[in-house]
Amino acid sequence: MLKVTDLQAGYGGSVVLHSLSLQVGEGESVVVLGPNGHGKTTLLRAISGLIRPTSGVVEFDGQVISNQRASDVVAAGLIHIPQGDLPFPELTVMENLLMGAYRPEAWRERKRKLEQVFELFPVLAERPNQLARSLSGGERRMLALGRGLMSKAKLLMIDEPSLGLAPFLIEDVYQTIRNIRKTGLSILLVDENADHIEGLADRVYLLESGTLVKEGSVEVMLQDEALLAAYLG
């Protein structure tokens, strides 16, 4: 479904990603692990169109999307949920979710999508008219995820979902992602450590200094603890 070949991207004069290739099949859930500063976020941004890759090809659902604008990539069904705290602070939960369905195709089905999202995220269903900035950290993270689901997403790219969250909230977030996976959506998750990815990943890649150095199934990766320790400390 998503095929990245020899991707190279960076900011200004410097190159962050070097000939990076990966694939995510339909219905697959793939995790990319890597330490901070090695290009996890850049990878997602280059795929979703927030930054332009300097070379390489990104194909999604049969189309080449390498140089398209972010809004066109969204239209194709590739949804990027960025790291950090990005719900619209002055809009309500409901309004945030509705914005997730901005594209015309999604907008038409927004009522149905809202029901789906509220089912997956009961926390949001309880307070649809609350301003996003008054939500707790965990609730905001749920909102960001729910917002991503409001579109007609075929593949969801999630950037470090647990970043900055209090420890007792983290498992909730990952459980929610597992639930999302059960709905059949393809997922590409980038994360800093492998603590919570059980039950979440069909395959794992290891990212180091802007390129993917290893690939394997979860079991193989987790068994090689030495490997993980070396890369992720």
Partner 1 sequence: MEKLFQAIYGGILYGSIYGLMAIGLTLVWGALRMLNLAHGSLYVVGGYVAWTALNEWALPALPSFALGVIAAALVGLLIQVLLINRLLGRPSFFNAAMIATVGAAIVIESAMLLIYGPRVKQMAPVIPGHFKTLGVVIQYQGLVIIVAAAISLVLLSLFLRKSRYGLAIQAVSQQMDAARLMGIPTVLTFTIVMAISAGLAGLAGVLLSSVFYLAPTAGFNPMVKALVVTIFGGLGSVKGTIWAAYVIGLLEAFLQVYFGAGWALPGLFLFMMIMLIIRPTGLFGMGEVQRL
Partner 2 sequence: MIQDTTVTESRFNSISKRLDWAAGPWARTNWVALGIAIVVALALPLVLAGFATGRFILHLMILFFTWGIVTQSWNLILGVGGIFSFAQVALFAIGGLASGVVSQQLGVSPFLSIWLAPIAATIAALVIGLPSLRLRGPYVVLLTLAFAELLRNFATQGPAWIAGGGYGLRYVPKLGFEEMWGTGMGRVAYYYVGLLLFMIATYVIWRIFHSPVGMSFRALRDSETYAISRGVDPFRFKLLLFALSAFFTGLAGGYLVHYNGAQSPAILNFPLTINLLAMVVLGGWGTFWGPILGTALLTVLPEVFRAVDVYRNLAMGLTLALIAVFAPQGLFPLIADGVRKLLQLFRKQQEE
Does the footprint of partner 2 cover residue 11 (CB under 8 A)?
A: yes
- Shortest CB 233 distance to partner 1, Å: 29
83 touches partner 2 (CB under 8 A) = no
Phi, psi of 85 (to 5 degrees): -105, 85
Give which of 188, 201, 213, 231 is closest to 46, Cα–Cα.
188
Which of 23, 22, 29 has its CA nearest to residue 180?
A: 29
State the nearest-atom distance from the C-beta of 93 to partner 2, in Å: 30
- Look at residue 161 and give the partner it binds from partner 1, partner 2, none, a contact being a CB closer than 5 to 8 Å depending on partner kind: none
Min separation Cβ 232 and partner 2, Å: 15
In the complex with partner 1, the residue whose CB is nearer, 164 or 199, is 164
Six token digits for residue 232: 């992720």
**Cβ–Cβ under 8 Å, residues 85 and 140:** yes
Q: What is the DSSP string of 77-114?
A: TEEEE-SS--S-TTSBHHHHHHHHT-SHHHHHTHHHHH
Residues 124-163 that bind partner 1 (CB under 8 A): 147, 151
Question: What are the counts of helices (DSSP H) followed by strands (DSSP E) for the chain?
Answer: 10, 10
Total of residues contacting partner 1 (CB under 8 A): 27
Q: Which does 36 bind (CB under 5 to 8 A by kind): partner 1, partner 2, none?
A: partner 2
Instruction: Say how far residue 8 (Cα) sits from the centre of its chain.
Output: 20
37-66 positions binding partner 2, by CB under 8 A:
37, 39, 42
Catalog residues that contact partner 1 under the rule CB under 8 A: 48-50, 69-71, 74-75, 79-82, 86-91, 95, 98-100, 102-103, 107, 147, 151
Catalog residues that contact partner 2 under the rule CB under 8 A: 10-14, 16, 36-37, 39, 42
